[in-house]
Structure 1
């Protein structure tokens, strides 16, 4: 039995709810390969490799880097990971796929599911290099769970910003702009925030726990922003901020 015939048989066997579930599963299976091909793996791999190289410096050059240096290197690696995530929603064919009967949140969720396994493997490699370089592990090392929370919040921030650009503009490749915004946000968080709401606090600082409560809040807010920006605009022209440039020739002739 061919794949389309098997799919039709699965749909026919289910009830109304079952049919919807089966149809959604068929759609997901059909989209996995195109979405995997459409992901900009090159820019994302560049950010990931840069993060690995930075964390491996103490190990490669046999430097005596303590936990204080280690937490800063891990933060820089997490920032590199967030810059890689900034390209996750780049889609040169966006204005073509926008007319497909597949909701944009589903396409974005598929991209996220495709990215999670390599991203998790990359972060485990980063932590492994930190341990091998003597910067993490043990009772006096870097608290890896807290730094992982920081990295997750930065990546969620990048994803939320990219979703916002996609939602409110006609840009097909928001990645470069989001990279700049993430870097600017990191610099602002490092230099402009008052002590009471500092995010990048030194290891052993009494503000450490409070700072990571703020990181957890940032993670939740960034994820909520991504979810809110996922759906297509209600108006067809909502993603075209330049008025008549996005309208057809008949509408321009009629002045509508």
Structure 2
């Protein structure tokens, strides 16, 4: 724990800020479409735009663990779990401010319940991070962002089509299933966090793990 502050600046510099910035800009532009001149205010449109913004942010976060120098950091004394947690901790305040800005871009009269839509956005981001940690855990790819983002995007596109009506996630505030849907969002969030935390250890093919398993 004492070396974590010393790692903050180097880790900050290695974060994929271009990718995160591009995804964040796309998300804000999406949310801001509700304020374009000539756009007819509509609550369903506002909800759809915020969900699109949340998806853009989640796709950006899927690249958070990309590290071209991954092979060179396998021998550092700080474990991968601590370095991954530090990456998430450094980005979390920026992501929170970004999401607040996205919410404020939607006209207040047509903005969906902020708590519920924030739960959806947080779950999408947690799923993206979980996918990235799983990719790091089970492969040697220094850039797990692309497969993680692909998995999140495919899931987001197919879920409304494949989920039965009684398990619907993408409902509107006027839908009687709204509250039950967000109970399911909460369970998804808990599952994503659990999977992500469980995958924070060193990759399964880590050379030190193989050495430790061998008899001395």
Question: Scaled by the length of structure 1, what TM-score is found?
Answer: 0.78
Cα distance, 1:145 vs structure 2: 0.5
Q: How far did residue 239 of structure 1 move?
A: 9.7
- Within the candidate set 116, 119, 122, 2:98 is matched to 122
How many Å separate the matches in 1 of 2:15 and 2:88?
10
Indicate whether 1:175 and 2:145 are aligned: yes
List runs of 5+ in structure 2 lacking aligned partners.
211-216
Aligned to 1:85: 61
Q: 1:152 aligns with which of 104, 114, 122?
A: 122
Match of 1:135 in 2: 110
1:170-217 CA-to-partner distances (Å, cap 9, x unmatched) read: 010111111111110101211110011111113311111111000000
The 3-state SS of whatever aligns with 1:65 is coil
Alignment pair present for 1:189 and 2:164: no
How many residue pairs were aligned? 210
Aligned equivalent of 2:70: 94
Q: Deviations over 1:119-161 (max 9, x none)?
A: 01100100110136x421xxxxx11110000000000000000
Q: Which has the larger radius of gyration?
A: 1
- Partner residue, 1:13: none
- The match for 2:48 is 72
Check whether the contact 2:139–2:203 (CA below 8 A) recurs between aligned residues. Answer: no
- Conservation of the 8 A alpha-carbon contact between 1:91 and 1:172: yes
What is the Cα deviation at residue 66 of structure 1? 1.6
Q: Equivalents in 1 of 2:59, 2:66: separation in Å? A: 13
Which of 203, 209, 222 is 2:173 aligned to? 203
* Deviations, residues 87-141 of structure 1 (Å, cap 9, x unaligned): 1111111111111111111001110111011101100100110136x421xxxxx
Q: Which has the higher contact order (CA 8 A, sep 6+)?
A: 2
Given that residues 34 and 49 in structure 2 are in contact (C-alpha distance below 8 angstroms), is that contact kept between their aligned partners in structure 1? no
In the TM superposition, structure 1's runs of 4+ consecutive aligned residues that sit over 4 Å from their partners are 237-240
User: Matches of 1:94 and 1:236 in 2, distance apart?
Assistant: 11
Q: CA RMSD for the aligned pairs?
A: 1.8
Q: Distance in 2 between matches of 1:126 and 1:236?
A: 40
Choose which of 72, 79, 82 in structure 2 pairs with 1:103: 79
Superposed CA offset, 1:33-72 (max 9, x none):
1110110000111111001111111213241222111111
* Number of the residue aligned with 2:193: 223
